[in-house]
């Protein structure tokens, strides 16, 4: 039983049409209207599953206008489902504007989870790191792309990008220039489709692999790049050590460590260990000091 006056955000397959949940099929068959990024693509999916619900187009060029029409439908207690060509709406796809406007009008937005290319690729990449940053599509031009990549250079988490086939070579070349050749890159293309490929290599070897077989330059890509190596927190900068020494001269140890961490951005635990060493060194120096009598 569907909720009245509700927008259902429905994830659809990214390739294999059987990768759709039973709940998603129930919703698509039961709503009054389906808003789809491309009606032809949506109709194909619905036909496979014998669903005949009415479809309207909602894409990046008309989303704001169609959102008003959908809100008018919700006002009459109709139910609407939102789908995009593949995957989860609003994730590098249209949908966020509609969701925001529907919620701002007080109507329910109900997500129906399912396929997502970034998570699909990550699950099969074998990259051992607890965190990742999903960026999505980078700028089309080299200048903008390099600028954005530069802002991500120091990130230690896995970086996940989407890329189109006609830009894949330029994108990887820019990554090599910005990040160097040593990082690990996982290239996932055509996920869940007939020519699905998941290739892991050093970033510096990726261009040669792509150029060796032009077929590997086709399809939709997910690129997963290993993050920057973590900074060794056991190494304290000279500036931080100097600041800590000055603070220890006038403040209790814990207070000096706290202020030093706030001022320098260094790791608090490492500063505390250094403070203990400095204190011990100062105390030893005082004990060894010989006070000579006045002559």
Mean pLDDT of the region 51-76: 97
Grade residue 283 by pLDDT with cuts at 50, 70 and 90: low
**Is it the case that residue 200 has pLDDT exceeding 50?**
yes
Q: What is the mean pLDDT of the chain?
A: 92
pLDDT for the residue numbered 38: 97
Fold agreement (6-115, 118-225): no
Grade residue 229 by pLDDT with cuts at 50, 70 and 90: confident
pLDDT for the residue numbered 238: 81
Grade residue 230 by pLDDT with cuts at 50, 70 and 90: low
Residue spans per domain, the chain: 6-115, 118-225, 238-282
Q: Looking at residue 139, what DSSP letter applies?
A: P
pLDDT for the residue numbered 231: 46
Structure tokens at 74: 């919700």
Residue, of 124 and 286, whose pLDDT is higher: 124
Contact 204, 182 (CB under 8 A): yes
Range in 61-75, 76-90, 176-190, 222-236 with the lowest mean pLDDT: 222-236
Look up the CATH number of domain 6-115. 3.40.1010.10
The CATH architecture to which 118-225 belongs is 2-Layer Sandwich (3.30)
Grade residue 292 by pLDDT with cuts at 50, 70 and 90: very low
């Amino acid at each position: 039983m569907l909720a009245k006056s509700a927008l259902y955000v429905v994830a659809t397959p990214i390739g294999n049409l059987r990768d759709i949940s039973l709940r998603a099929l129930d919703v698509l068959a039961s709503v009054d209207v389906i808003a789809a990024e491309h009606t032809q693509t949506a109709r194909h999916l619905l036909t496979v599953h014998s669903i005949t619900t009415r479809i309207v187009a909602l894409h990046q060029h008309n989303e704001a206008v169609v959102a008003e029409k959908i809100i008018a439908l919700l006002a009459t207690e109709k139910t609407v489902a939102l789908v995009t060509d593949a995957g989860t709406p609003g994730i590098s796809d249209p949908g966020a504007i509609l969701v925001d406007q529907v919620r701002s009008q007080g109507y329910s937005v109900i997500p129906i989870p399912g396929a997502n290319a970034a998570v699909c690729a990550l699950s099969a990449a074998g990259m051992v790191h607890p965190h990742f940053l999903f960026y999505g599509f980078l700028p089309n031009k080299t200048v903008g792309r390099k600028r954005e990549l530069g802002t991500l250079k120091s990130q230690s988490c896995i970086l996940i990008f989407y890329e189109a086939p006609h830009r894949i070579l330029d994108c990887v070349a820019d990554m090599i220039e910005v990040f160097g050749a040593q990082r690990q890159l996982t290239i996932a293309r055509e996920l869940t489709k007939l020519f699905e490929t998941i290739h892991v290599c050093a970033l510096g070897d990726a261009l040669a692999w792509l150029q060796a077989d032009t077929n590997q330059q086709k399809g939709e890509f997910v690129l997963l790049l290993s993050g920057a190596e973590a900074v060794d927190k056991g190494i304290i900068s000279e500036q931080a050590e100097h600041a800590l020494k000055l603070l220890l001269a006038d403040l209790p140890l814990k207070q000096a460590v706290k202020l030093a961490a706030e001022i320098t951005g260094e790791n608090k635990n490492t500063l505390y260990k250094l403070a203990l060493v400095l204190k011990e060194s100062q105390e030893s120096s005082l004990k060894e000091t010989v006070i000579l009598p006045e002559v």
